[in-house]
Amino acid sequence: MPADPFKPPFHHAILNARSLTEAGRWVGLSQPAMSVALRKLRDQFGDELVADVGGERRLTPLAQALRPRVRRLLRDVGDTFRLQIDFDPAVAVRTFTIAAPEQLEIMLLGRVIPDLLRAAPGVSVTVLPFTRSSSANAFETGADMLVIPQRFAVEGLQSRVLMTERPSCMVWDDHPGFGDEITPEHYLEARHVAVFERPGPNAQLDGPSRDLLDARKIAVRTSLHGALPNLVLGTDLVATASSWLLQHFASMMPLKVLSFPIATSPEPIIAQWPPHLDHDAAHAWLLEQVVRATCEFL
Protein backbone atom coordinates (compact mmCIF):
# COMPACT_ATOMS: atom_id res chain seq x y z
CA MET A 1 0.00 0.00 0.00
CA PRO A 2 1.45 3.44 -0.88
CA ALA A 3 2.33 5.80 1.94
CA ASP A 4 -0.29 8.36 2.91
CA PRO A 5 1.06 11.67 1.50
CA PHE A 6 -0.78 13.62 4.19
CA LYS A 7 0.66 11.70 7.16
CA PRO A 8 3.91 13.25 8.51
CA PRO A 9 6.98 11.04 8.00
CA PHE A 10 8.86 9.82 11.05
CA HIS A 11 11.68 12.35 10.38
CA HIS A 12 9.22 15.22 10.88
CA ALA A 13 7.59 13.56 13.87
CA ILE A 14 10.89 12.95 15.68
CA LEU A 15 12.05 16.53 15.15
CA ASN A 16 8.76 18.16 16.22
CA ALA A 17 6.94 15.94 18.73
CA ARG A 18 7.41 16.46 22.45
CA SER A 19 8.46 12.85 22.98
CA LEU A 20 9.26 9.72 21.04
CA THR A 21 5.95 8.22 22.17
CA GLU A 22 4.04 11.20 20.81
CA ALA A 23 6.04 11.02 17.57
CA GLY A 24 4.95 7.39 17.24
CA ARG A 25 1.30 8.34 17.63
CA TRP A 26 1.69 10.93 14.85
CA VAL A 27 2.88 8.32 12.35
CA GLY A 28 1.17 5.20 13.70
CA LEU A 29 4.29 3.41 14.93
CA SER A 30 5.05 1.89 18.30
CA GLN A 31 7.61 3.40 20.66
CA PRO A 32 10.15 0.62 19.97
CA ALA A 33 9.73 1.13 16.20
CA MET A 34 10.33 4.85 16.65
CA SER A 35 13.46 4.10 18.69
CA VAL A 36 14.77 2.07 15.76
CA ALA A 37 13.91 4.89 13.36
CA LEU A 38 15.73 7.42 15.56
CA ARG A 39 18.79 5.19 15.75
CA LYS A 40 18.86 4.96 11.94
CA LEU A 41 18.63 8.74 11.64
CA ARG A 42 21.47 9.17 14.14
CA ASP A 43 23.62 6.74 12.15
CA GLN A 44 22.76 8.51 8.89
CA PHE A 45 23.68 11.99 10.15
CA GLY A 46 26.36 11.03 12.65
CA ASP A 47 24.58 13.16 15.25
CA GLU A 48 22.41 12.53 18.30
CA LEU A 49 19.71 14.85 16.89
CA VAL A 50 17.53 14.54 20.01
CA ALA A 51 18.84 14.35 23.58
CA ASP A 52 17.28 14.19 27.03
CA VAL A 53 18.85 16.90 29.18
CA GLY A 54 17.61 16.99 32.76
CA GLY A 55 14.32 15.44 31.73
CA GLU A 56 13.85 18.00 28.95
CA ARG A 57 13.88 17.12 25.27
CA ARG A 58 16.55 19.08 23.40
CA LEU A 59 17.41 19.24 19.70
CA THR A 60 21.03 19.42 18.65
CA PRO A 61 22.11 22.31 16.38
CA LEU A 62 21.97 19.96 13.38
CA ALA A 63 18.42 18.88 14.25
CA GLN A 64 17.35 22.50 14.60
CA ALA A 65 18.74 23.19 11.13
CA LEU A 66 16.99 20.12 9.70
CA ARG A 67 13.56 20.88 11.16
CA PRO A 68 12.51 23.78 8.85
CA ARG A 69 13.90 21.93 5.81
CA VAL A 70 11.91 18.80 6.58
CA ARG A 71 8.81 20.90 7.26
CA ARG A 72 9.23 22.69 3.92
CA LEU A 73 9.68 19.42 2.01
CA LEU A 74 6.66 17.90 3.72
CA ARG A 75 4.56 20.90 2.83
CA ASP A 76 5.69 20.82 -0.79
CA VAL A 77 4.66 17.16 -1.01
CA GLY A 78 1.26 17.90 0.51
CA ASP A 79 0.69 20.86 -1.79
CA THR A 80 1.65 18.74 -4.79
CA PHE A 81 -1.10 16.24 -3.98
CA ARG A 82 -3.56 19.11 -3.44
CA LEU A 83 -2.67 20.88 -6.68
CA GLN A 84 -5.81 21.77 -8.62
CA ILE A 85 -5.93 22.19 -12.39
CA ASP A 86 -9.51 23.43 -12.24
CA PHE A 87 -11.11 25.46 -9.46
CA ASP A 88 -14.80 26.18 -9.05
CA PRO A 89 -15.22 28.66 -6.17
CA ALA A 90 -18.94 27.92 -5.86
CA VAL A 91 -18.29 24.35 -4.70
CA ALA A 92 -14.63 24.38 -3.57
CA VAL A 93 -13.62 23.48 -0.03
CA ARG A 94 -10.20 24.91 0.74
CA THR A 95 -8.34 27.06 3.25
CA PHE A 96 -6.20 29.96 2.03
CA THR A 97 -3.51 31.30 4.34
CA ILE A 98 -2.19 34.83 3.79
CA ALA A 99 0.56 36.61 5.74
CA ALA A 100 0.42 40.40 5.93
CA PRO A 101 1.44 43.28 8.21
CA GLU A 102 -1.35 44.61 10.41
CA GLN A 103 -2.18 47.64 8.28
CA LEU A 104 -2.47 45.45 5.18
CA GLU A 105 -4.47 42.87 7.11
CA ILE A 106 -7.05 45.60 7.76
CA MET A 107 -7.31 46.08 4.00
CA LEU A 108 -7.59 42.34 3.36
CA LEU A 109 -10.26 41.84 5.99
CA GLY A 110 -12.25 44.86 4.89
CA ARG A 111 -11.97 44.70 1.11
CA VAL A 112 -10.93 41.25 -0.10
CA ILE A 113 -12.31 38.65 2.25
CA PRO A 114 -16.03 39.59 2.28
CA ASP A 115 -16.28 39.32 -1.52
CA LEU A 116 -14.12 36.20 -1.52
CA LEU A 117 -16.38 34.42 0.96
CA ARG A 118 -19.51 35.40 -0.95
CA ALA A 119 -18.07 33.93 -4.15
CA ALA A 120 -16.72 30.80 -2.43
CA PRO A 121 -18.91 29.81 0.56
CA GLY A 122 -16.89 26.65 1.19
CA VAL A 123 -13.56 28.50 1.40
CA SER A 124 -11.98 29.67 4.66
CA VAL A 125 -9.22 32.25 5.12
CA THR A 126 -6.50 32.56 7.73
CA VAL A 127 -4.46 35.77 7.95
CA LEU A 128 -1.13 35.28 9.69
CA PRO A 129 0.80 38.11 11.35
CA PHE A 130 3.84 39.25 9.40
CA THR A 131 7.01 40.66 10.90
CA ARG A 132 9.56 42.58 8.89
CA SER A 133 12.19 39.85 9.18
CA SER A 134 9.95 36.87 8.38
CA SER A 135 9.28 37.01 4.63
CA ALA A 136 10.88 33.66 3.74
CA ASN A 137 9.85 32.01 7.02
CA ALA A 138 6.19 32.86 6.42
CA PHE A 139 5.97 30.15 3.75
CA GLU A 140 7.51 27.60 6.10
CA THR A 141 4.80 28.37 8.67
CA GLY A 142 1.99 27.74 6.21
CA ALA A 143 1.39 30.92 4.17
CA ASP A 144 0.12 30.51 0.61
CA MET A 145 0.64 34.19 -0.17
CA LEU A 146 2.40 37.23 1.23
CA VAL A 147 0.89 40.70 0.88
CA ILE A 148 3.78 42.98 1.80
CA PRO A 149 5.66 46.18 0.93
CA GLN A 150 8.03 45.50 -1.94
CA ARG A 151 11.09 46.17 0.22
CA PHE A 152 10.37 42.91 2.10
CA ALA A 153 10.07 40.77 -1.05
CA VAL A 154 11.63 37.31 -1.06
CA GLU A 155 14.34 37.24 -3.70
CA GLY A 156 13.75 34.86 -6.58
CA LEU A 157 9.97 34.48 -6.17
CA GLN A 158 7.34 35.75 -8.58
CA SER A 159 5.39 38.77 -7.43
CA ARG A 160 2.47 40.93 -8.53
CA VAL A 161 2.10 44.63 -7.73
CA LEU A 162 -1.29 45.15 -6.07
CA MET A 163 -1.29 48.80 -5.10
CA THR A 164 0.93 51.65 -4.01
CA GLU A 165 1.04 53.50 -0.74
CA ARG A 166 2.47 56.78 0.47
CA PRO A 167 2.21 58.46 3.86
CA SER A 168 -0.58 60.89 4.70
CA CYS A 169 -1.79 62.56 7.88
CA MET A 170 -5.09 62.06 9.70
CA VAL A 171 -6.73 64.44 12.16
CA TRP A 172 -10.10 64.87 13.83
CA ASP A 173 -12.62 66.74 11.69
CA ASP A 174 -12.80 69.44 14.36
CA HIS A 175 -9.05 69.69 14.94
CA PRO A 176 -8.52 73.23 16.25
CA GLY A 177 -5.35 73.93 14.28
CA PHE A 178 -5.77 72.52 10.76
CA GLY A 179 -7.95 73.20 7.77
CA ASP A 180 -7.50 71.18 4.60
CA GLU A 181 -3.71 71.11 4.59
CA ILE A 182 -0.77 70.88 6.94
CA THR A 183 2.54 72.68 6.43
CA PRO A 184 5.92 71.36 7.62
CA GLU A 185 5.91 74.05 10.31
CA HIS A 186 2.47 73.06 11.57
CA TYR A 187 3.48 69.39 11.45
CA LEU A 188 6.45 70.05 13.74
CA GLU A 189 4.37 72.16 16.13
CA ALA A 190 1.62 69.54 16.46
CA ARG A 191 1.39 66.61 18.85
CA HIS A 192 1.43 63.17 17.23
CA VAL A 193 0.31 59.60 17.77
CA ALA A 194 2.68 56.99 16.33
CA VAL A 195 2.80 53.23 15.92
CA PHE A 196 5.72 51.41 17.54
CA GLU A 197 7.82 50.45 14.55
CA ARG A 198 11.15 51.24 12.99
CA PRO A 199 11.47 52.15 10.24
CA GLY A 200 8.42 54.40 10.08
CA PRO A 201 5.24 54.11 7.99
CA ASN A 202 7.28 54.21 4.77
CA ALA A 203 10.89 53.09 4.94
CA GLN A 204 11.58 54.68 1.56
CA LEU A 205 11.23 58.15 3.06
CA ASP A 206 14.56 59.88 3.05
CA GLY A 207 16.11 63.33 3.14
CA PRO A 208 13.79 66.13 4.32
CA SER A 209 10.72 63.88 4.58
CA ARG A 210 12.58 61.41 6.80
CA ASP A 211 13.93 64.26 8.92
CA LEU A 212 10.44 65.69 9.32
CA LEU A 213 9.04 62.35 10.43
CA ASP A 214 11.85 61.83 12.94
CA ALA A 215 11.38 65.32 14.40
CA ARG A 216 7.73 64.79 15.38
CA LYS A 217 6.59 65.49 18.93
CA ILE A 218 5.12 62.10 19.76
CA ALA A 219 2.61 62.32 22.61
CA VAL A 220 1.10 58.83 22.29
CA ARG A 221 2.52 55.53 21.02
CA THR A 222 0.48 52.45 20.17
CA SER A 223 1.32 48.99 18.89
CA LEU A 224 -1.65 48.86 16.51
CA HIS A 225 -2.51 50.79 13.37
CA GLY A 226 -6.12 49.88 14.12
CA ALA A 227 -5.99 52.02 17.28
CA LEU A 228 -5.10 55.23 15.41
CA PRO A 229 -8.65 56.49 14.64
CA ASN A 230 -9.83 56.13 18.23
CA LEU A 231 -6.75 57.92 19.51
CA VAL A 232 -7.14 60.79 17.02
CA LEU A 233 -10.90 61.20 17.44
CA GLY A 234 -11.74 64.14 19.70
CA THR A 235 -8.09 65.18 20.20
CA ASP A 236 -5.50 67.47 18.64
CA LEU A 237 -3.25 64.51 17.73
CA VAL A 238 -1.94 63.89 14.22
CA ALA A 239 -1.47 60.34 12.89
CA THR A 240 0.88 59.57 9.99
CA ALA A 241 0.39 56.29 8.11
CA SER A 242 -0.44 54.85 4.70
CA SER A 243 -2.84 57.09 2.79
CA TRP A 244 -5.25 54.30 1.80
CA LEU A 245 -5.44 53.07 5.41
CA LEU A 246 -6.25 56.53 6.74
CA GLN A 247 -8.86 57.04 4.00
CA HIS A 248 -10.45 53.78 5.13
CA PHE A 249 -10.72 55.10 8.70
CA ALA A 250 -11.98 58.50 7.55
CA SER A 251 -14.77 56.86 5.55
CA MET A 252 -16.27 55.53 8.78
CA MET A 253 -15.54 58.26 11.36
CA PRO A 254 -15.46 62.07 11.58
CA LEU A 255 -11.82 62.22 10.56
CA LYS A 256 -10.04 63.86 7.63
CA VAL A 257 -6.92 62.92 5.72
CA LEU A 258 -4.34 65.53 4.76
CA SER A 259 -1.41 65.23 2.39
CA PHE A 260 1.96 64.66 4.03
CA PRO A 261 3.67 68.08 4.24
CA ILE A 262 6.52 67.06 1.93
CA ALA A 263 6.14 65.23 -1.40
CA THR A 264 7.03 61.52 -1.22
CA SER A 265 7.37 58.67 -3.69
CA PRO A 266 4.79 55.87 -3.68
CA GLU A 267 5.87 52.42 -2.50
CA PRO A 268 4.53 49.28 -4.20
CA ILE A 269 2.60 46.69 -2.23
CA ILE A 270 3.01 43.23 -3.74
CA ALA A 271 1.71 39.69 -3.53
CA GLN A 272 4.24 36.84 -3.50
CA TRP A 273 3.76 33.09 -3.43
CA PRO A 274 5.90 29.91 -3.44
CA PRO A 275 6.85 28.35 -6.81
CA HIS A 276 4.72 25.23 -6.39
CA LEU A 277 1.58 27.39 -6.62
CA ASP A 278 2.51 28.96 -9.96
CA HIS A 279 0.14 26.63 -11.86
CA ASP A 280 -2.47 26.06 -9.15
CA ALA A 281 -5.92 27.19 -10.31
CA ALA A 282 -7.11 27.89 -6.77
CA HIS A 283 -4.15 30.17 -6.12
CA ALA A 284 -4.73 31.97 -9.43
CA TRP A 285 -8.33 32.62 -8.37
CA LEU A 286 -7.21 33.93 -4.96
CA LEU A 287 -4.70 36.28 -6.60
CA GLU A 288 -7.41 37.55 -8.94
CA GLN A 289 -9.64 38.42 -5.96
CA VAL A 290 -6.85 40.32 -4.22
CA VAL A 291 -5.87 42.19 -7.40
CA ARG A 292 -9.48 43.19 -8.12
CA ALA A 293 -9.99 44.57 -4.61
CA THR A 294 -6.78 46.60 -4.53
CA CYS A 295 -6.24 47.85 -8.10
CA GLU A 296 -8.04 51.14 -7.45
CA PHE A 297 -5.17 52.13 -5.14
CA LEU A 298 -2.52 51.86 -7.87
Question: Per-residue pLDDT tens for 258-291?
Answer: 999 998 888 899 999 988 888 888 999 999 999 9
Angle, in degrees to the nearest 10, between helices 31-45 and 20-27: 100
Average pLDDT rounded to a whole number, residues 215-242? 95
The string of pLDDT tens digits covering residues 100-144 is: 999 899 887 888 889 999 999 999 999 988 876 667 678 777 789
Mind listing the pLDDT tens digit for each residue in 153-207? 888 888 999 999 889 999 999 988 887 889 999 999 999 999 986 444 445 566 7
First to last CA, the chain: 53
SS3 282: helix
**Can you tell me the distance from the alpha carbon of 292 to that of 287, in angstroms, rounded to the nearest whole number?**
9
**Using H for helix, E for strand and C for coil, what is the string for 20-81?**
HHHHHHHHCCCHHHHHHHHHHHHHHHCCCCEEEECCEEEECHHHHHHHHHHHHHHHHHHHHH
Give CA–CA dist 139/183, Å, rounded: 43
Question: Could you tell me how many residues make up the chain?
Answer: 298
Q: Does pLDDT of 82 surpass 60?
A: no
How confident is the model over 24-35, as a mean pLDDT? Answer: 77
In contact, 72 and 140? CB cutoff 8 Å: yes
Q: Does residue 105 contact residue 128 with C-beta atoms inside 8 Å?
A: no
- Model pTM? 0.70
Check residue 72 and give its pLDDT. Answer: 67
Count Cβ atoms below 10 Å from residue 141 Cβ, excluding itself.
13
Per mean pLDDT, which of 16-30, 38-52, 218-232 is the most reliable? 218-232
As a dihedral over the C-alpha atoms of residue 249, residue 255, residue 259, residue 261, rounded to 10 degrees, the angle is: -120
Nearest CA to 49 among 33, 34, 62, 39? Answer: 62
Taking the C-alpha atoms of residue 276 and residue 157, their distance in angstroms, rounded to an integer, is: 11
Phi, psi (degrees; rounded to nearest 5) at 113: -65, -40
pLDDT at position 225: 94
Residue 121 C-alpha from the chain's centroid: 23
Q: Tell me the C-alpha distance between 197 and 194, whole Å.
A: 9
